[in-house]
Amino acid sequence: MAETEKTEVAEKEVVSKNFIEQIIDKDLAEGVYDTVHTRFPPEPNGYLHIGHAKSILLNYGLAQKYHGKFNMRFDDTNPTKEKTEFVESIKKDVEWLGADWEDRLFFASDYFEQMYEGAVKLIKKGKAYVSDLSADEIREYRGTLTEPGKEDPGSRRSIEENLELFENMKNGLYEDGAKVLRARIDMASPNMNMRDPVIYRVAHMSHHNTGDKWCIYPMYDYAHPVEDAIEGVTHSICTLEFEDHRPLYDWVVRELEYPHPPKQIEFAKLYLKNVVTGKRYIKKLVEEGIVDGWDDPRLVSIAALRRRGFTPESIKMFVELCGVSKANSIAEYPMLEYCIREDLKLKSPRIMAALDPIKLVIDNYPEGQVEMLEVPNNLENPELGSRQVPFSGELYIDREDFMEEPPRKYFRLFPGNEVRLMHAYFVKCVGFEKDQDGNVTVVHVTYDPASKGGNSPDGRKVKGTIHWVSAAHAVKAEVRLYENIIDEEKGVYNEEDGSLNLNPDSLKVLKVSYLEPAMKDVKPEERFQFVRQGYFCVDSKDSRPDALVFNRIVSLKSSFVLPKKEG
């Protein structure tokens, strides 16, 4: 045991550390912090997407790696946009990804009192003042990148007057927008965020947690560092757009004199090419009925990826492949597909399914006979064991495995050709039937009883192997095949009107597919490989025991090549 543990540690140390780990190592070595404490701080105003997964797994992963702590914190300081519904969906998604916050679930709104006291402290230090300027005036007074801002008349107020006015703000004496509290920093700062930013505003609004207790609410740039400091967060990891806000973050924790101030570190967001992540756009797709909810399997919200059949492990592999950096880059969806194939390759049973079925009749098979064939569940992973699959004289095969007039290099069934029925027998096509419209309905074959198990009895070779399902035993199911909801040729947005360029063929529904009888008792979210077809997942929303629905997670074909590791 100790042996293997040692090699594992050694192997891990060979992997180069990302820039955040390097900062943490330095902080620990220099005694800046003696522990690592991270958090994931979503605003409960929508569903999480693949980008958030990166933030979740990064923060949780660091806490794990350094034997520190990870907080789940809802940044619910803005009563206008938040909904309890989102709190529940976010919790479910973070849990599903495996980020365990244990008993550290927090709500920023629980700190309103402390935030208020902090603001009073700033006023008492002469570091904050009440302003009467309107939002427009504040913008005007702020100046430009080349010109310094103008002094706010409110900044001349005495500490006593500011304390009184701020208390009045809290007590509801003013209308929304009539007064704000500003931090007194530097109206000439080259960083616009430091030009006396607003830190509290009046908003007569009910809050989902605190109800009508408050009619003043803190601004994000003030609230966030306070939340981190209260919770004892050491490394507050956020995305690049907050880089210019870091001086303000540092100002807040310094002026409020926290004994162990947290440190903000920014990394580049994860972008996926040709996907929709904007809440506004997804909302529209839902409202227009183009998708069947925020968890439609064609979207990349975490709920949608879960429903489509992605595993937490595949998402983790994907964000790890993307890496952590300060430089923006765009990842490709095929890389995510690569990850799920890799994850499911050995884990999932491989079963046979005729997605677009036609009948195959074996003319010389004894009438009424049924054989049970022992079939391995996963040829590459014997640990998954085997199952019994019924074989009979009437089967279903996939329509595309038969052609009346085959092109060159078509090795599947056509008149006169012999193929292998996977795990079963060699069969030779001796005829076929068509309906009035010219569609093939039945293919007739004869089988060679000496080829049982799919083995050649006399050294003769067949080039094609096709899958099948015994007709009398088959389980019926609906199968949904997906393509990108975005037209990849055109890109996500229409340049003229900003609308989405949708792919009209993003969903194909096969109403009647036939699966092996082993699929009778599947559970929602169970995943399988349908041999030669792809990986499929039982739909958690629409599948019923007597009306199964499967989503294709991904096909088996891939053009993606794993990028070479640098260095």
Q: How far is the CB of 115 from ligand ATP (least distance, A)?
A: 18
The residues pairing with 353 across neighbouring beta strands, listed in sequence order, are 515
Residue 75: phi and psi, rounded to 5, are: -90, 75
Residue number with CB closer to ligand ATP (42 or 349): 42
Residue number with CB closer to ligand ATP (302 or 515): 302
Q: Report the C-alpha gap between 175 and 205 in whole angstroms.
A: 11
Of the candidates 20, 37, 55, 128, which one interacts with ligand ATP according to CB under 6 A?
55
CB-side neighbour CA atoms (13 Å) of 226: 27
Ranked by CB distance to ligand ATP, the top (closest) residue is 51
Residue number with CB closer to ligand ATP (272 or 429): 272
The residues pairing with 375 across neighbouring beta strands, listed in sequence order, are 387
Residue number with CB closer to ligand ATP (264 or 543): 264
Q: Which of residues 217-246 bind ligand ATP (CB under 6 A)?
A: 238-239
Residue 485 binds to ligand ATP (criterion: CB under 6 A): no
Q: Which residues contact 219 (CB under 8 A, 6 or more apart)?
A: 197, 198, 199, 200, 201
Residue number with CB closer to ligand ATP (23 or 384): 23
Q: How far is the CB of 76 from ligand ATP (least distance, A)?
A: 10
- Taken in order 88, 90, 92, 98, the sign of the CA dihedral is negative
Q: How far is the CB of 300 from ligand ATP (least distance, A)?
A: 10
DSSP assignment of 81-128: T--HHHHHHHHHHHHHTT---TT-EEEGGGGHHHHHHHHHHHHHTT-E
Question: 107-146 mask for ligand ATP (x: CB under 6 A)?
Answer: ----------------------------------------
Residue 293 Rama label (left phi>0; alpha psi -120 to 50; beta)? left
Residue 301 binds to ligand ATP (criterion: CB under 6 A): no
By CB under 6 A, which span of 42-50, 99-107, 144-152, 354-362 interacts with ligand ATP? Answer: 42-50
Q: Which residues contact 318 (CB under 8 A, 6 or more apart)?
A: 50, 331, 335, 336, 339
Residue 270 binds to ligand ATP (criterion: CB under 6 A): yes
Of the candidates 20, 37, 41, 447, which one interacts with ligand ATP according to CB under 6 A?
41
Q: How far is the CB of 503 from ligand ATP (least distance, A)?
A: 22
Q: Report the C-alpha gap between 515 and 512 in whole angstroms.
A: 10
Residue 320 binds to ligand ATP (criterion: CB under 6 A): no
- DSSP 3-state of 283: helix
C-alpha R_g of the chain: 31
Strand order in the sheet with 469-470: 465-466, 418-421, 426-434, 440-448, 357-362, 394-398, 469-470
Residue number with CB closer to ligand ATP (239 or 555): 239
By CB under 6 A, which span of 48-56, 390-398, 531-539, 551-559 interacts with ligand ATP? Answer: 48-56
- Taken in order 334, 338, 340, 341, the sign of the CA dihedral is positive
Residue 52 binds to ligand ATP (criterion: CB under 6 A): yes
Residue 501 binds to ligand ATP (criterion: CB under 6 A): no
Residue 45 binds to ligand ATP (criterion: CB under 6 A): yes
Residue 529 binds to ligand ATP (criterion: CB under 6 A): no
Residue number with CB closer to ligand ATP (51 or 154): 51
Nearest residue to 320 via CA among 565, 6, 502? 565
By CB under 6 A, which span of 6-14, 50-58, 176-184, 388-396 interacts with ligand ATP? Answer: 50-58
Q: Report the C-alpha gap between 36 and 62 in whole angstroms.
A: 8
Please give the C-alpha separations between residue 132 and each of 155, 156, 176, 199, 425, in angstroms, as whole numbers: 10, 12, 12, 14, 87
By CB under 6 A, which span of 51-59, 105-113, 360-368, 551-559 interacts with ligand ATP? Answer: 51-59
Residue 51 binds to ligand ATP (criterion: CB under 6 A): yes
By CB under 6 A, which span of 47-55, 299-307, 466-474, 537-545 interacts with ligand ATP? Answer: 47-55
SS3 string, 24-63, reads: HHHHHHCCCCCCCEEEECCCCCCCCEHHHHHHHHHHHHHH
Instruction: Catalog residues that contact ligand ATP under the rule CB under 6 A.
Output: 41-43, 45, 51-52, 54-55, 238-239, 269-270
